[in-house]
Amino acid sequence: MTDNASNTPKANGQGQAMWGGRFSAKPAELMQAINVSIGFDKRLWAQDLAGSRAHARMLMNQGVISSHDGEEILEGLARVEDELLSGTFPFRDEYEDIHMNIEARLRELIGPTAGRLHTARSRNDQVAVDFRLWVRDACDRTVGQLEALQKALLAQAEAYADALMPGFTHLQPAQPVTFGHHLMAYVEMFGRDAGRFRDARVRMNECPLGAAALAGSPFPIDRHQTATALGFDRPTANSLDSVSSRDFALEALSAASITATHLSRLAEEIVLWTTPMFGFIKLTDAFTTGSSIMPQKKNPDAAELVRAKVGRILGSLTTLTVVMKGLPLAYSKDMQEDKVPTFEAFDALELSLLAMAGMIADLTPNTQNMAKAAGAGFSTATDLADWLVRTLNMPFRDAHHVTGSAVKTAEGLGVDLADLSLEQFQAIEPQITNAVYAVLTPAASAASRMSYGGTAPAQVRAQIARWKELLA
């Protein structure tokens, strides 16, 4: 065995332990480096204070601690809060996480009475309640941001309820729709997204505080009291589950991932629509950037970044799912890794929602270009087929065939369907009359689609009115 292969720690050329590698840190320092979470869980300070206050009041009410001690603790927590709000609170790595940082500071401010706050509590239920409060707030904020985005979409949809544009399938022109109708499709998607956050909130709204380390507490605590004080519907019903579960965060991240997926689709459409080839919309300088080399460029960076954020958000869901997978009950330190992905995902989502609402309000459609494109690609071919069915009582399959021949003729001549003469139509199907021309314009096509949820401007307006009421 060579010296190098030996696994006994020994001095290398620089006089360091071999296993020190590129870290000069001692084991104690490495332990602190991997263990410390204050750098990111400081974001839970407001929730930690809320949980501590509710816990202290309950302990007082139940006679577990004296009112004198309880009042002292509450006053101390108020001073801690002042420091946190004013930015003078000393965050210290040696106290590992937000829970111990706050408790250590409380002790410095009020003395040994601070130690009574942790009666009938563990950091396991403490972090569970803090994180749940944070995720609940994040869900509430997201619902608000989604509604703001929906309102921005509604305003544009109302202004452009009649503006024709091509509807696509396979990104090929399919049938004319209106710009308002297209935007309202996203109002529906974001409405369901908000619903998912609301649903998740209902399920997560149970309070884990009082589960203590894992088995519950021998003190006469009142978990219903703390649950109510913190705005929960009830306490969680199993102490092991209370400290072991993070599915509330997984559910919120799932909802976030679906929302981000919807955002990325709208972002992609903005990217497409702003290209000169489409020329459907314009964004102002507020949401675009220039190129450092190509003076003509106006790049939709904000839309591109929204399109990309889904990677980070879905990545967070994957991260937390893998962290939780296979964890035995109850608490394991693995679960400390729940916070960074969750914070990151909601930061990214919030920014995306705000930027998207901004872009929607900012955009100006080029209704001329859109209307022109709405008529391209024989987009009223289905209307011709439908006319043959309705007026000549043709079976749809035959009508489809006749229409195909008309499209072929028009294509050969390099004209639109509406440009074919009556003789040309009649050469294909003798029963066709002049009345056919009324259905061949994109406007007539869109206006005819009066089925519930269809693209007819009257239907679009009805949906706008419904949503306005829902969001009022």
Which residues 335-364 are close enough to bind ligand ARG by CB under 6 A?
335-336
Verify binding: residue 463, ligand ARG, rule CB under 6 A.
no
CA trace torsion 152, 138, 247, 253 (10° rounding): 40
Q: Which range binds ligand ARG by CB under 6 A, 5-13, 25-33, 120-128, 181-189?
A: 120-128
At closest approach, how far in Å is the CB of 227 from ligand ARG? Answer: 20
Determine the Cα–Cα distance for residues 391 and 387; give it in Å rounded to an integer: 6
Q: Quick one: which H or E segment has residue 365?
A: strand 364-365
Q: How far is the CB of 206 from ligand ARG (least distance, A)?
A: 19
Cβ-in-10-Å burial (0-12, 13-18, 19+) of 116 comes to middle
**Helix (H), strand (E), coil (C) string for 266-320:** HHHHHHHHHCCCCCCEECCHHHCECCCCCCCCCECHHHHHHHHHHHHHHHHHHHH
How many helices (DSSP H) and strands (DSSP E) are in the chain?
18, 6
Tokens 């702003």, residue?
A: 274
Our CB check for ligand ARG shows the closer of 156 and 336 to be: 336
**248 binds ligand ARG, rule: CB under 6 A:** no
Helix (H, G, I), strand (E, B) or coil at 174: strand
Q: Does 319 bind ligand ARG (CB under 6 A)?
A: no
Region of 60-68, 122-130, 161-169, 439-447 interacting with ligand ARG (CB under 6 A): 122-130
In the complex, least distance from residue 36 CB atom to ligand ARG, rounded to whole angstroms: 9
Question: In angstroms, what is the minimal distance from the CB of 245 to ligand ARG?
Answer: 13
Instruction: Please tell me the distance from the alpha carbon of residue 333 to that of residue 304, in angstroms, as a whole number.
Output: 37
Among 123, 181, 182, 449, interactor with ligand ARG by CB under 6 A: 123
| Member of 48, 72, 97, 125 binding ligand ARG (CB under 6 A) | 97
Q: Specify the stretch interacting with ligand ARG by CB under 6 A; choose among 121-129, 297-305, 322-330, 391-399.
A: 121-129
DSSP code at position 117: G
Considering the complex, state which of residue 134 and residue 179 has its C-beta at the smaller distance from ligand ARG: 134
CB nearer ligand ARG, residue 97 or residue 362: 97
User: Min. distance of Cβ 467 from ligand ARG in angstroms?
Assistant: 40
Which residue, among 365, 352, 353, 186, has the nearest Cα to 274 in the 3D structure? 365
In angstroms, the CA 252 to CA 449 distance is 38
Residues 321-340 that bind ligand ARG (CB under 6 A): 331, 333, 335-336
Exposed/middle/buried for 83, CB within 10 Å: 0-12, 13-18, 19+?
A: middle
CB of 182 to ligand ARG, least distance (A): 44
> Under rule CB under 6 A, how many of the chain's residues touch ligand ARG?
10
**Is there binding between residue 47 and ligand ARG (CB under 6 A)?**
no
Catalytic site residues?
A: 170, 291
Burial class (CB in 10 A: 0-12, 13-18, 19+), 297: exposed
| 124/403 with CB nearer ligand ARG | 124
The answer to whether 244 and 330 have CB atoms below 8 angstroms apart is: yes
Helix (H) or strand (E) holding 177: strand 172-178
CB of 185 to ligand ARG, least distance (A): 41
Nearer to ligand ARG, 35 or 291 (CB): 35
Closest approach of ligand ARG to the CB of residue 143, in Å: 26
Kindly list the distances between the CA atom of residue 405 and the CA atoms of 172, 328, 426, in Å, as whole numbers in the listed order.
20, 67, 11
Tell me which of 60, 117, 127, 355 binds ligand ARG, using CB under 6 A. Answer: 127
Give me the amino acid identity at 73. Answer: I
> Residue 21 or residue 39: which is nearer to ligand ARG going by CB?
39
Q: Which is nearer to ligand ARG, 123 or 136 (CB)?
A: 123
Per-residue tokens: 468? 């306005």
Q: How distant, in Å, are the alpha carbons of 34, 82, 295, 301, 306 from that of 357? A: 39, 35, 28, 15, 11
Nearer to ligand ARG, 210 or 365 (CB): 210
Of the candidates 52, 113, 124, 257, which one interacts with ligand ARG according to CB under 6 A? 124
Residues that bind ligand ARG (CB under 6 A): 37, 41, 97, 123-124, 127, 331, 333, 335-336
